[in-house]
C-alpha cells in the first residue's frame, strides 16, 4: 500500500475512532471513502472525447452538449481534417460548419457557437484557447461547465465541471447536500476534494453516472461505493423496516389463526 493510500485509510480510521461523529466528520468520511474507492479502482479515469489539443477539446465539448461522446467522436475526425485550427474554422460560414456536424444534435445552434468561438479566438486570443475561466466564458457556446471541462482536461487545473451525471451522483451519494444548482454542487465538491484529485474526480463521477449510477435505474447491486452511498443506506433502511412490518403481520396472522 502506498503512503498516500495508507494516509487515506488513516483518515477514515481516525474519523471512526472518534466515536459519535458530527455531520461534518460524517461528510468528510464519506468523501474519503468514495475517493479512496476511485483512487484504487479507476486511477486513470479520463475524458471519453477524442482530442489532440485545447482547440479540438473546446470544439468537442461544445458539440457534446446533449449528445453522446460516441457520436461526437464519430464526427470530429472529419471535422478536424476540414478545420484543423481556429483560423480555418473562423474562415468558414455557420452553414458550412452546420453541414459538417449535421449528424450531431442541434447542428445549427452549435455551428453558430463554433463559428463565433473560432472568430473570437482568432480576433482576441491570438488563435489560442485561453486558460482562465473568465476568458473562456466570453467565448460563444462556452458556459461555466464547459469552461471547467477545458480548464481541467486541457490545462490540468482544479476546476470541477458539474454536468447532469455529476449532479445526480453527488446528490444520491450524499457528497452534495440540498443542492439546487450545479454551482452549489461544484462548490461543495471543490470544498472537500483535494485539489490534486479534482480533475480525476470529475471523470470518476461522470463515468460512474454514465455506466453505474444511471438516471432511471441505478445499478446499486454492482456499485463499488454502495456502502458509502446515502441513497443506498436509506434504501436499505426502508427495506429492513418493510421486512420488519411483514414479519409482524405474519406473526399476528399466525396468532389469530391459532385462536
For the annotated catalytic residues, the residue numbers are: 145, 163
What H or E segment, with its residue span, contains residue 72?
helix 69-82
- Reported in sequence order, the residue ranges of 20-110 that DSSP labels E, i.e. its strands, are none
Task: State the residue for C-alpha cell 488563435.
Answer: 127
d(CA 93, CA 67): 23
Stretch that binds ligand SF4, among 100-108, 144-152, 167-175, 240-248 (CB under 6 A): 167-175
Tell me: does residue 174 bind ligand SF4 (CB under 6 A): no
d(CA 139, CA 119): 9
d(CA 142, CA 133): 10
Task: State the residue for C-alpha cell 466528520.
Answer: 25
Tell me: does residue 237 bind ligand SF4 (CB under 6 A): no
User: For the chain, what's the residue count?
Assistant: 259
* Least distance between ligand SF4 and beta carbon 222 (Å): 8
Using CB under 6 A as the binding criterion, the count of chain residues that bind ligand SF4 stands at: 14
Q: Positive or negative, the Cα torsion across 222, 161, 52, 103?
A: positive
Instruction: Out of 144, 164, 220, 236, point to the residue binding ligand SF4 (CB under 6 A).
Output: 220
* Least distance between ligand SF4 and beta carbon 65 (Å): 24
| DSSP for residue 44 | T
d(CA 11, CA 229): 18
Pick 219 or 244: Cβ nearer ligand SF4: 219
Binding mask 28-67 for ligand SF4 (x = CB under 6 A): ----------------------------------------
Tell me: does residue 171 bind ligand SF4 (CB under 6 A): no
Contact 46, 204 (CB under 8 A): no
Pick 54 or 174: Cβ nearer ligand SF4: 174
Tell me: does residue 223 bind ligand SF4 (CB under 6 A): yes
Stretch that binds ligand SF4, among 23-31, 139-147, 166-174, 188-196 (CB under 6 A): 166-174
Instruction: Out of 128, 219, 237, 244, point to the residue binding ligand SF4 (CB under 6 A).
Output: 219
Q: Positive or negative, the Cα torsion across 93, 95, 101, 106?
A: positive
Binding interface with ligand SF4 (CB under 6 A)? 169, 172-173, 212-213, 218-220, 223, 225-226, 229, 231-232
Amino acid at each position: 500500500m502506498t503512503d498516500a493510500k495508507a494516509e487515506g485509510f488513516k483518515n477514515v480510521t481516525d474519523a471512526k475512532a472518534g466515536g459519535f461523529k458530527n455531520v461534518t466528520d460524517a461528510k468528510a468520511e464519506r468523501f474519503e471513502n468514495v475517493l479512496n474507492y476511485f483512487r484504487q479502482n479507476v486511477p486513470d479515469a479520463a475524458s471519453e472525447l477524442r482530442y489532440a489539443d485545447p482547440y479540438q477539446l473546446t470544439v468537442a465539448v461544445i458539440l457534446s452538449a446533449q449528445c453522446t461522446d460516441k457520436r461526437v467522436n464519430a464526427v470530429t475526425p472529419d471535422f478536424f481534417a476540414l478545420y484543423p485550427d481556429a483560423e480555418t474554422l473562423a474562415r468558414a460560414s455557420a452553414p458550412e460548419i452546420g453541414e459538417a456536424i449535421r449528424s450531431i444534435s442541434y447542428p445549427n445552434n452549435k455551428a453558430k457557437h463554433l463559428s463565433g468561438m473560432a472568430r473570437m479566438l482568432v480576433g482576441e486570443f491570438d488563435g489560442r484557447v485561453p486558460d482562465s475561466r473568465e476568458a473562456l466564458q466570453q467565448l460563444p457556446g462556452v458556459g461555466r461547465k464547459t469552461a471547467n471541462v477545458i480548464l481541467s482536461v486541457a490545462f490540468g487545473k482544479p476546476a470541477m465541471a458539474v454536468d447532469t451525471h455529476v449532479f445526480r451522483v453527488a446528490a444520491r451519494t450524499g457528497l452534495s447536500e440540498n443542492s439546487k444548482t450545479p454551482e452549489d454542487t461544484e462548490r461543495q465538491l471543490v470544498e472537500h476534494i483535494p485539489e490534486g484529485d479534482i480533475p480525476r474526480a470529475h471523470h470518476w463521477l461522470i463515468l460512474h453516472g454514465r455506466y453505474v449510477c444511471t438516471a432511471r435505474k441505478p445499478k446499486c447491486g454492482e456499485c463499488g461505493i454502495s456502502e458509502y452511498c446515502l441513497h443506498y443506506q436509506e434504501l436499505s433502511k426502508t427495506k429492513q423496516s418493510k421486512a420488519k412490518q411483514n414479519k409482524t403481520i405474519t406473526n399476528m396472522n399466525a396468532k389469530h389463526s391459532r385462536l
